Structure 1
């Protein structure tokens, strides 16, 4: 491209011209009195000079006001004078698609840069979008771009002017624009491609654009929010939309209430029956489905099955087919229930599962293991009477416990292999098939109907195990941690979780609602009943009975402070409490709810446990017991063997200190281990967080 030639006149914007008189004539001075008038001759200005002056003036004005020109894309760079400093990369792809399909609708504002290039002072996002098209191979780098050239002195002014005073398009206008394009013949895919968005985004815009005009008007007036619009879009029936909106009180027109009103006679796609039958199978039988385009994909929560009766019929057909396979096992009867509620089991008795007669080889193996178990028990008892302050005692204790545990597992496995129902038991009992909340079949075998219980009891021979049944005398496993220490540790854990709940009203609310739901909907099970909603107070005094030095612990101090603060805030007269609560704001009520729920929590246990609800609560709170408890001689080390204390040191530091404490008495060894564990954040097994699985969440695209 040819660069614009410049002259000093163009640069300064000044043109030599007459400044006296409207027509460019120099004024004549008055002649002195008595002087003779002199004739002045008029000089003509050449036409070439006039043309040059006009050209200079025009060029100067164009540079100041902007001059149109075409510049190859590869000769454009972003100017440092561009006032926009923040660019959102996610919008460039959409803008590139728009420019590719619609062309550059607004010129770039540029100033002269280095030789042969121009700097963009307004239109940086457009420049980046076009450069993206070049990088993708959709445009040539030499493609000419429409620009407007400005004087360098106006760069910042022009950039600020273009980026100021803008008003973004209202989403409702965009929705209706998308609808117009589709009505004019474009497909959803074509609209998505031209505007650089996904097809689902276009479908969502169209869904909202087809709402009753009344709601788009409310949206423009900011009297309804996007979530409410999305809920109304569950139906395309304008009358139904307006009926639901008008039928709900103004304070209850949230998205949840709208969605519930529109789908109250439908079944959600993530319900247990829908999961069991399958949406595809339901649709294949002619069932109608509504899909919420704004719901998360994959979990079925945005799918609504309109024919609940058909869904139940299909579920029962599938359940009965599975029941035939169970009947083939030899049961006297098989029942099928669509309800997965455990309450259904209360009307049944249960046949006790016995053991078949072992084969001679199995009997010999079990007898040998039980004889070995007796010998180990005797050895353990003998060791208990030895000097406990010696290393020999502790080493022998650990060795024997390891052998006993391993042997117990083998004995249990041998008896499990013998456990079964006899043919007579199966003939008089049956199986119940239910659908659980995950949409899976649950089979309860060995159930006895009420009318069959008498016969079953007679068949048991008044408590005799009956033919082929052998009672199991397998010894119980010795716990790795004593009951006293277990209660000590779990009391500290209870206090820490209480303290964390006090500080987290949201998780406290979830905990309380979960416990209430367990009670009302008993098919969820009762868990470990760690939250006593009725309300059983788990006081500091109760915890201090089990937890060593509880009063001085971080949890004890925090809970004592919170108890004092709430005691000062609440009215002293019980009759005034309800009125006081009515006068409080929601945040205050939630804080008090958190405190009360926390004080009902109780996970104190005397034996080892598996994962339970307390682990889910701990995970939600992010409780790390290392913040609330430390291993000391009083809290742990003095209550376990020297070997256990050394095991803790090895876990915490990676160093085996057995040799270091070889010549020490137990008290000295405990102090040595306590020093090694200081600051290590080591925790014994009962205080460690057990893994808890949680559902994944996917952000909704709108």
Structure 2
């Protein structure tokens, strides 16, 4: 043990007596160590020490004792125990009980002898309580930031992570985590000391290795939107979790062996793959597809007319395909005999089970045991018979020539092979297959031969604004949001799909502000952006910060709060962004109609949002529709920027919106006469 520097005069306890080991020099009599009020330094065997009843600290915590014991073993006892003499030759510790328990732990595990001499300071019995109170009052533990920097200095001085862990009684992972935080930009360490940043925010920032990039991300976020979740999401937005189905399918080792970069969150559980981020999702998808194609080649050898493979877990694109049933060939005489024998055995067990159910005594001690045995025998007979009959199932040559197979991944990342699929064009089309109007994923669009009135880019721009308006209106109307959510669930459960009815993406796939900012011109200045941003900030402040607490928090909320949150989450799932002009009403129109959404309240035809993206003719057409005035002559000879400014001024305050943003009334579903009534 590396002991502290010893005073010039030390008393050593031997049994119940105290003897001086220092020379009896005159100056020793006048040192503070000899002053009864300040205590007297001495060495006491460990097995002579016990916690005093006068020790004011009555609540003892076991946490950190191992760490403290390791510190004392490697560094020595850096602070003496305060003791008073007992009547039986032993000594009571009035201050330092936790240190005493840590040293007793060292003795119990064989690291120290039981009579290890311990640095103590002896006080008079009458001082016990005040000494204990003085040492335990006003104590403040080391700030974690100081420990982080201390660990970093030790490693920089040449100690390994394992050595630091051993000396301070912590795990190597704990040291690595402290070092990770210590390497953050100094600015964040200062913020941590000033209690201006939370530990979970530091942990999220630690996902970035470059201190300059850490600061750039922090400064790029709104001061009101720097939660740990937001930081982590910004860092890993384009990454893929190792717990995703693609990553599980490919395997983390395979991905890394191919050179894929990985970002690990040291602060998540080592067993939690969701804390491992794969930074190259494109490579991951390529590896997954290569692996899936290997299975595809094996399935092709079965003789199918076609084999496709897909990484998508959603099978909606394959709903129009028909399905063939396997044919059953004639059994050979031996197979027929075996099947008949197994069928007879199955009937025998079934009859025995039924007889026990009808005639057995339920009050008998062995009734349930016999029932279980009969049930197990019947199950085994059923399985044997099914296995014998399954051998007869096969795909006939005609089926192989007509049908195909799909090799895909399910939501767990496991391979699913669906055989016997018949493409609509290869089989007899049913009325449902013949028209696009009943397809769940079909949209009524203009015929391909017709020139679109609006460009695809402009259509996405306009419908992005409309989607944002629908979201903002939904969060203000929980009742409609609830109806929209239940509608989406019902159509999924009961397969009641309609054209365009899947705009509420209940999966839930969030249509975020980032999407709107990319698709919708000047989105940040729109009323919808303001409302959605305020709601996001409000819920971000109200919800607990960690996933484990979220469900408990929800359980404690009144229904009104849950409905408001449901409205927000449902609103954020809506995605009605489209690239083509709609020719018939769909569910987004029904939703807009139910919400009373007037896009004139949410969108104005500025140069950046509309006029600068259309031709002069379309811009003048907008003015004519809005004002009834044909400005063709008045704008003759104007350059495009001047004409745009002119039209923007004319349209100001008119509440004009282009056709894609106008309401498309949805039929009530009633007969015409009843609807009129």
Normalising by structure 1, report the TM-score.
0.53
1:209 Cα offset (Å): 1.0
Residue matched to 1:243: 216
Residue matched to 2:610: none
Judging changes above 3 Å, is the alpha-carbon distance between structure 1 residues 415 and 154 closer, same or farther for their aligned structure 2 residues? Answer: same
Q: Match for 2:109 among 109, 117, 136?
A: 136
Q: Does 2:411 correspond to 1:443?
A: no
- Tell me how far apart the structure 1 counterparts of residues 429 and 237 of structure 2 sit (CA, whole Å): 46
Query: 2:33–2:40: 8 Å Cα contact kept in structure 1?
Result: no
Q: Match for 1:429 among 403, 410, 416?
A: 403
Which deviates more, 182-191 or 415-424? 415-424
Judging changes above 3 Å, is the alpha-carbon distance between structure 1 residues 367 and 88 closer, same or farther for their aligned structure 2 residues? Answer: closer
Gaps of 5+ in 1: 7-50, 381-401, 457-508, 536-580, 599-702
User: Secondary structure, in 3 states, of the residue corresponding to 1:251?
Assistant: coil
Residue matched to 2:226: 253
1:73 Cα offset (Å): 1.5
1:450 Cα offset (Å): 3.3
1:142 Cα offset (Å): 2.4
Q: Match for 1:265 among 224, 238, 250?
A: 238
- Tell me how far apart the structure 1 counterparts of residues 175 and 494 of structure 2 sit (CA, whole Å): 45
User: Secondary structure, in 3 states, of the residue corresponding to 2:318?
Assistant: helix
User: What is the correspondence of 1:66-81 to structure 2 with a 5 Å cutoff?
Assistant: 66-81=39-54
From the CA coordinates, give the structure whose radius of gyration is larger. Answer: 1
Residue matched to 2:193: 220
Q: Match for 2:559 among 591, 594, 603?
A: 591
User: Secondary structure, in 3 states, of the residue corresponding to 1:217?
Assistant: helix
1:59 Cα offset (Å): 9.8
Q: Match for 1:420 among 385, 388, 394?
A: 394
Normalising by structure 2, report the TM-score.
0.54
1:526 Cα offset (Å): 4.3
- Tell me how far apart the structure 2 counterparts of residues 157 and 68 of structure 1 sit (CA, whole Å): 18
Task: Name the Cα RMSD after superposition.
Answer: 4.6
Residues 201-237 of structure 1 deviation map (CA, whole Å, 9 limit, x = unaligned): 1111111111111212222222211111111111111
Residue matched to 1:351: 324
Residues 490-510 of structure 1 deviation map (CA, whole Å, 9 limit, x = unaligned): xxxxxxxxxxxxxxxxxxx9x
Residues 539-592 of structure 1 deviation map (CA, whole Å, 9 limit, x = unaligned): xxxxxxxxxxxxxxxxxxxxxxxxxxxxxxxxxxxxxxxxxx999999998513
Query: 1:95–1:196: 8 Å Cα contact kept in structure 2?
Result: yes
- Tell me how far apart the structure 2 counterparts of residues 426 and 267 of structure 1 sit (CA, whole Å): 38
- Tell me how far apart the structure 1 counterparts of residues 560 and 414 of structure 2 sit (CA, whole Å): 40
- Tell me how far apart the structure 2 counterparts of residues 434 and 167 of structure 1 sit (CA, whole Å): 59
Q: Does 2:56 correspond to 1:83?
A: yes
- Tell me how far apart the structure 1 counterparts of residues 383 and 563 of structure 2 sit (CA, whole Å): 44
- Tell me how far apart the structure 2 counterparts of residues 334 and 231 of structure 1 sit (CA, whole Å): 44
1:116 Cα offset (Å): 3.4
- Tell me how far apart the structure 2 counterparts of residues 215 and 330 of structure 1 sit (CA, whole Å): 63
Q: Does 2:174 correspond to 1:201?
A: yes
Judging changes above 3 Å, is the alpha-carbon distance between structure 1 residues 174 and 519 closer, same or farther for their aligned structure 2 residues? Answer: farther
Query: 1:366–1:414: 8 Å Cα contact kept in structure 2?
Result: no
Residue matched to 2:131: 158
1:100 Cα offset (Å): 0.7
- Tell me how far apart the structure 2 counterparts of residues 81 and 367 of structure 1 sit (CA, whole Å): 86
User: What is the correspondence of 1:249-328 to structure 2 with a 5 Å cutoff?
Assistant: 249-328=222-301
Residue matched to 2:83: 110
Residue matched to 2:100: 127
Which deviates more, 249-258 or 289-298? 249-258
Query: 2:67–2:168: 8 Å Cα contact kept in structure 1?
Result: yes
Judging changes above 3 Å, is the alpha-carbon distance between structure 1 residues 331 and 517 closer, same or farther for their aligned structure 2 residues? Answer: farther
Which deviates more, 447-456 or 327-336? 447-456
- Tell me how far apart the structure 1 counterparts of residues 407 and 487 of structure 2 sit (CA, whole Å): 22
Query: 1:232–1:259: 8 Å Cα contact kept in structure 2?
Result: yes
User: What is the correspondence of 1:523-602 to structure 2 with a 5 Å cutoff?
Assistant: 526=493, 590-592=558-560
Residues 618-668 of structure 1 deviation map (CA, whole Å, 9 limit, x = unaligned): xxxxxxxxxxxxxxxxxxxxxxxxxxxxxxxxxxxxxxxxxxxxxxxxxxx
Which deviates more, 349-358 or 425-434? 349-358
1:89 Cα offset (Å): 1.4
Residue matched to 1:386: none
Query: 1:518–1:526: 8 Å Cα contact kept in structure 2?
Result: no
Gaps of 5+ in 2: 1-11, 355-374, 431-477, 497-501, 505-534, 544-553, 567-677
Residues 59-116 of structure 1 deviation map (CA, whole Å, 9 limit, x = unaligned): 9962332011111222212111111112211211100000011111001101111443
Residues 141-192 of structure 1 deviation map (CA, whole Å, 9 limit, x = unaligned): 2221111110010011111110001111111111111111111111111111
Q: Does 2:427 correspond to 1:453?
A: yes
User: Secondary structure, in 3 states, of the residue corresponding to 2:36?
Assistant: helix
